[in-house]
Amino acid sequence: MPSANLPPRSGRQFSLKHGDYVAVVTELGASLRELAYQSKEVVCSWPADETAPCSNGRVLIPFPNRIADGAYTFGGTTYQLSIDEIERRNAIHGYGYRSYWELETLEDDRVTLSWRVPQISGYPFYLLVTADYRLTDDGLHLRITAANHGKQRAPWAFGLHPWFANGFDGYGDEIDGFNAQCRVTIPGDTHVTVDERLLPTGTEPVDGTKYDLREGQLLTQQPYDDAWTDLHHAADGTTTAEFERPDGLAVQVVGDESITSFQVCTGTGFPAFKHPSGVAIEPQTAYANAFNTGKDLIAIEPGDTASTSLLIHAEQR
């Protein structure tokens, strides 16, 4: 018989609190399952015993988004990943979310987890990855660090997949109506064009198109499942996307200089039972198919590390 003492399917739940913020990070995948500000839901959460419906809160490593046919060549060797987006014949979102991570430290407002990449034939590189979540007065900080303990260079890209709650408590077609009342700002000059498999085919300027979100636009021209690049970075190297919903709650997603693109997904057309009540705004160090195109791909040398820092900040306007 199953043990009554088993933790939830997503593993231990690490609850953090600081000031106006509370968060829950899961042992499975080091995923951000909950984040709230002044008791308002900032990200779309899900029950701890269930699967994240649309990659909610997942850390996407060693690659975010898609790899065509799951195949790529790196360092003169061709590798084959499993195809887990069957209908489009793609590998998607990496492997980090599938494993239970090791707890390194836990405090009231901070948790650090680590994941050692297992022996995967399609990704045999020896990385040790740490995810450090910390709540402060200005929000949730996440720092991801990948250290190469192997003898060969390792291809690497990182993304985070938060779905920002639109304030609607429910499922179904009404979600898109609530999304249309939300304003999104993406500081990107360039839109990534894709084919029917959502694989990049090129880029285009956003000027004069529905993809020009640089000054902030209501999401009245859904659907979106798109990437923006050529991001504007401030003097300190950061780049900031923003999501503002009808009740005045505004959320900024701030990435360091390693963030080269944002992916936005409205979930339009998703089955009602799995459609999160909000919009995904995903900071990425590289967009789809980077293992094949090499665009913004990071190669970690043996003994070196790659790191990315993010901040999710909320405020009531």
pLDDT in tens, 53-83: 899 999 999 999 999 999 999 999 999 999 9
Fold of 13-316: Beta-galactosidase; Chain A, domain 5 (2.70.98)
Higher pLDDT, 169 or 122: 122
Confidence bin at 172 (pLDDT 50/70/90): low
* pLDDT higher than 60, residue 171: no
d(CA 231, CA 139): 22
CA neighbor of 236 nearest in space, from 214, 254, 263, 215:
254
Q: Give the per-residue pLDDT at 3.
A: 60
Name the pLDDT band for 176 (thresholds 50, 70, 90): confident
Range with the poorest average pLDDT among 146-160, 165-179, 186-200, 263-277: 165-179
Helix and strand numbers, DSSP H then E, in the chain: 2, 27
**The pLDDT value given to residue 255:** 98
pLDDT value of residue 274: 80
Q: Is 55 helix (H, G, I), strand (E, B) or coil?
A: coil
**Which pLDDT band, with edges at 50, 70 and 90, does 272 fall under?**
confident
In this prediction, residue 57 carries a pLDDT of 97
**CA–CA separation, 157 vs 18, rounded Å?**
30
Q: Is the pLDDT of residue 174 over 90?
A: no
Residue 34 has pLDDT above 70, yes or no: yes
Indicate whether this model's pTM tops 0.85.
Answer: yes
What is the maximal distance between C-alpha atoms in the chain?
Answer: 62
pLDDT for the residue numbered 168: 72
Asked if the model's pLDDT at residue 47 lies above 80, the reply is yes
Q: What's residue 178's pLDDT?
A: 86
Predicted confidence at residue 112, as pLDDT, reads 98
Task: Please report which confidence band the pLDDT of residue 273 belongs to, taking 50, 70 and 90 as the band edges.
Answer: confident
Give the start-to-end residue ranges of the domains of the chain: 13-316
Q: What is the mean pLDDT of the chain?
A: 95
The per-residue pLDDT for 169 is 66
Q: Which pLDDT score is estimated for 2?
A: 56
Question: pLDDT at position 125, please?
Answer: 98
| Per-residue model confidence (pLDDT) at position 177 | 84
CB 287 within 8 A of CB 227: yes
- Identify the pLDDT of residue 5: 82
Residue 170 has pLDDT above 60, yes or no: no
% of the chain beyond a pLDDT of 70: 97
pLDDT confidence of residue 297: 98
Please tell me the predicted confidence (pLDDT) of residue 173.
Answer: 60
Q: Is 128 exposed, middle or buried (0-12, 13-18, 19+ CB in 10 A)?
A: middle
Q: DSSP secondary-structure letter at 54? A: T
pLDDT given at position 270: 85
Q: Which two tokens stand for residue 149?
A: 């303990």
Mean pLDDT of 167-194: 86
Q: Give residue 210's pLDDT.
A: 96
**For the purposes of burial, counting CB atoms within 10 Å of the CB of 109, is it exposed (0-12), middle (13-18) or buried (19 or more)?**
middle
The length of the chain, given as a count of residues: 317
- What integer pLDDT is reported at residue 4 of this predicted model? 67
